[in-house]
Structure 1
Amino acid sequence: MAGNETHYILPRPDFDKPVKLLIVVAPYYKDIADDLVAGAKAEIEAVGGSWDLVEVPGALEVPTAISIADRQSNFDGYVALGCVIRGETTHYETVCNDSSRALQLMGLQGLCIGNGILTVENLDQALVRADPARQNKGGGAAAAALHLVALARKWGAQTKGVGFKPPSESILLARKNDGPSTA
């Protein structure tokens, strides 16, 4: 049965400069959302971080709010929270797939996002996953965002010799031929 397994959890990252996350929650199922937010806040505060919180109408609006915040604010990362419970129509698949895809695409563009939008079959599953004393998926989403922020800071601080990016001062991409070179 899901929920009884033990999972490895990475140690919390350390930060030498303050970290601030935006928690974006869709409180359609208010009790579940409140538990998710409580877990996320506790995880952020455990590393000495700070947070702001905004609410949006539903899970489909979470990625849009994050995109707006990224363009107009200075958050280090984002925590996406909400809950989608399967119903009788295909709307469930649309909401789950589209919200997840949008968050993933923003992540691939460099945003540090922890996805804590629950996608479950029933209310009981949601309650177990959201509860900070049980599966704490809100805390897990915040932890994911914090780990990504730590990676972005680690790699962002290095300017050369990293991965496949060549040092820019030694690369000549295009040049107009004005005659013989003096070099």
Structure 2
Amino acid sequence: MKRLGTVVGAGVLLLLASASACANPTQESQDSAGDTRPTQTSAPAPTETQPDRQPARTPPSGGEKVSAGQIDSKALPRNYPVMVWTEDDGVTVGVVAQEGGCGKASVENAETDKQVTITMIETTPTEPKACTMDLRYPKLTTELKEPLGDRKIVLESEQRKG
């Protein structure tokens, strides 16, 4: 029994020693005279970058958000993200789509003089396979023949097997 206490005690001491070594960011280094001195180590300085914006709330840099009054999203499933923007003077329209697991999102458009219909498509594999259970919200764009202008945008979603 005395031996078990010694083994457990040695394990605790080893654990405490390794924890304090990890918590102390100093190391010893030798100078040319052979003297040792502590040196401070640190993590690299963070870079000055803007954090990524939440995908369903803001357009990407350079994009101009389309007003809610110009968007018809009644055909979308409940809780589907609705975010539409234009780029390149209105010739490029962007949307936030939804995909999950093995699905891959894409968009198609059809345009008339009065409206642009954007169909967000989630294509899933035809053969069943193991997939993750995550949801992703990729930002996708589509090119129009003419700038969007005052035309209405109708959003639809569709699921396909591919």
Q: Which of the pair has the greater relative contact order for Cα pairs under 8 Å at 6+ separation?
A: 1
Higher percent of residues as strand: 2
Instruction: Answer whether TM exceeds 0.5 for this pair.
Output: no
Q: Where on the TM-score scale, by shorter chain, does this alignment land: which range?
A: under 0.3
Higher percent of residues as helix: 1
If you compute each CA radius of gyration, which structure gives the higher value, 1 or 2? 2
TM-score by length of 2: 0.27
TM-score by length of 1: 0.24
